[in-house]
Amino acid sequence: MRKPGLGGLVYSTDGGRMCPACRQPLADCRCGKPAVPRGDGVVRVSRESKGRGGKTVTLVRGLDLEEDALAALGKRLRNACGAGGTAKDGVLEIQGDHCERVIALLQAEGRTVKRAGG
C-alpha cells in the first residue's frame, strides 16, 4: 500500500511541473495550495545597469507577494526613494542606485533582506 505524500509524478512533458497533492499540472492545480514555495523567504536587493543604456536600476527579488501587493510595495518604495520604476515578473525595478535605502525600508517592515551582487 502506498503512503500519501511520498513520491509520485513531479514533472510531465505534457503539462510541465505537477502538483504533488492533486497530481495536476501547476497551472491547473485544484488543491488550492502552492505546490512549490515561491522563494526561500529572503529578499535580495541588487544594482544593475547592463542592457539599460548605462542607466542604473535597483532590483528587488524574492518577494513572496501577489501582483497587487507587489505593485503596492513598489509604489511605497518608489515614493520613499523619489524615483520611478516598475514591477514585472515578480521583480521590483526602481530607477537609480537606492540599494541602501530600499534595504533599510524592507528591514523596517520586518523582512529578511540581503544585498546581492557587488
pLDDT value at position 2? 47
Domains of the chain: 1-36 (no CATH), 42-115 (3.30.780.10)
pLDDT value at position 116? 87
Question: Does residue 79 or residue 22 have the better pLDDT?
Answer: 79
> What percent of the chain stands above pLDDT 90?
36
pLDDT at 88 over 90: no
Question: Does residue 3 or residue 1 have the better pLDDT?
Answer: 3
Question: Does residue 27 or residue 55 have the better pLDDT?
Answer: 55
71-78 mean pLDDT: 92
Of the listed ranges 23-32, 56-65, 105-114, the one predicted with least confidence: 23-32
pLDDT value at position 40? 73
pLDDT value at position 38? 59
- The DSSP line for the chain is -PPTTSS---EETTTEEB-TTT-SBGGG--SSS-SS-S--SEEEEEEE-TTTTT--EEEEE-----HHHHHHHHHHHHHHHT--EEEETTEEEEES--HHHHHHHHHHTT-EEEE---
Measured over the CA atoms of residue 108, residue 113, residue 116 and residue 118, the dihedral's sign is positive
